[in-house]
Structure 1
């Protein structure tokens, strides 16, 4: 099926600024009125990333898992809205973990879908321009970067994400991991997500079983380096 470009009910330009903004709920959100979020469409068909990622995985990952984060995020925001209106400080504090987990799941997956693209649309083509130079400068080579990300992703215990990020403070590229659905901003406010790889089992188990390294090896065939390069160009000093 043909799917529209990645859009939310209210446009979410999920780069460096909005990754933090989407989680910044509180009195400001209350004063503007309650806002909800919706599941973004994919910019490609579910089967377009095969054989690297199966259509079945993509459909379940998008329609079930991402949708659940959106649903629960909206529910938590509604409860937060009510708690603030009632002046219930204890409830506001209690809701923060649900907002972080489900809001983070929404943020992370919205970035993840943009980080992927079919081979026919440039998936797997190495980055060019300034991002390519930055990778060589910071990691020695593209191959060294892939090896580092794969190693850290495979070693991550339980569920989480492995990221390639721009640190705007040090002006360097870094590899970071986050647990569960923690978004990259939780590791530092100056980190800009360029590329995030989901290493939760729901992202690969139906196809790769428990062999996460095989999933990490094959996902590079559909990585959208063009998108990562555009974010780098926009956010680099």
Structure 2
């Protein structure tokens, strides 16, 4: 079986200062994200063992582990790529046009996205995704990332609001963290993901 590996950060650990501190980035990437990669590999190994033995007594458990760790790995990978040093500002290009079409303005999108992120109960994510069935952008929240979704939605931008993403610098001030995170958004990455939807005729 091909093993999943922890992707390297696309920038140095301290590159997101002052909005995100180096210590948090190291802990978040090297420990928390690595744990999802390890858990995903283990779940896939156990499911392969079950297939080989024809013994599915624990399949419910391992499928849950697959969903939890797989979702964590995918969302964290998106999260790191969605940020860059000297990022932020208003969206530009095709994604800006779509945001204006679906939300009315960038200011309205920003206000709704921040409110959604701050309102997530416990640990979770806020996500901007494209729904090809509804033909529009959606802001979604995932309080248990393996459970809450809209089927078919393609995530384009996400912010991690689990406490491990901000607690060392911001303590319990999630709203301050989300406000600072807007200065790190890599709109080039978001536009690239959005453009690929047109290539696959998903838009």
- Fold conserved between structures, TM > 0.5: yes
Give 1:180 shift: 2.8
TM-score by length of 1: 0.81
Q: Any idea what the Cα deviations from partners look like across 1:170-208, whole Å, max 9, x if unmatched?
A: 11111001123328xx52332111101101000000000
Q: Is 1:227 the counterpart of 2:189 in the alignment?
A: yes
The 2-side partners of 1:90 and 1:144 are apart by 49
Give 1:97 shift: 1.0
Q: Is 1:173 the counterpart of 2:137 in the alignment?
A: yes
Is contact 1:102–1:181 with CA below 8 Å preserved after alignment? no
Give 1:129 shift: 1.9
Unaligned runs of 5+ in 1: 1-33
Question: Which residue does the alignment assign to 1:152?
Answer: 116
Question: Which residue does the alignment assign to 2:60?
Answer: 93
- Pairs aligned (count): 199
Give 1:147 shift: 0.8
The 2-side partners of 1:111 and 1:129 are apart by 20
User: Pairwise mapping of residues 22-37 of structure 1 onto structure 2 (< 5 A)?
Assistant: 34-37=1-4
Give 1:140 shift: 1.4
Give 1:125 shift: 3.5
Structure 2 residue aligned with 1:106, among 73, 76, 82? 73
Structure 2 residue aligned with 1:64, among 15, 27, 31? 31
Q: Is 1:189 the counterpart of 2:156 in the alignment?
A: no
Question: Which residue does the alignment assign to 1:29?
Answer: none
Stretch of structure 1 that moved more, 109-118 or 70-79: 70-79
**SS at the partner of 1:90?**
coil
Q: Is 1:52 the counterpart of 2:14 in the alignment?
A: no
Give 1:144 shift: 1.1
Question: Which residue does the alignment assign to 1:161?
Answer: 125
Instruction: Indicate the RMSD between aligned Cα atoms, in angstroms.
Output: 1.3
Give 1:142 shift: 1.1
Is contact 1:125–1:224 with CA below 8 Å preserved after alignment? no
Unaligned runs of 5+ in 2: none
Structure 2 residue aligned with 1:207, among 160, 165, 169? 169
Give 1:103 shift: 1.1
The 2-side partners of 1:115 and 1:107 are apart by 12
Q: Is 1:217 the counterpart of 2:179 in the alignment?
A: yes
Is contact 1:84–1:92 with CA below 8 Å preserved after alignment? no
The 2-side partners of 1:182 and 1:116 are apart by 23
Q: Taking structure 1 as reference, are residues 181 and 188 closer, same or farther at Cα in structure 2, changes over 3 Å only?
A: closer
Structure 2 residue aligned with 1:143, among 91, 107, 121? 107
Q: Any idea what the Cα deviations from partners look like across 1:78-128, whole Å, max 9, x if unmatched?
A: 111111111112222221111111111111101111100000xxx113222
Is contact 1:44–1:117 with CA below 8 Å preserved after alignment? yes
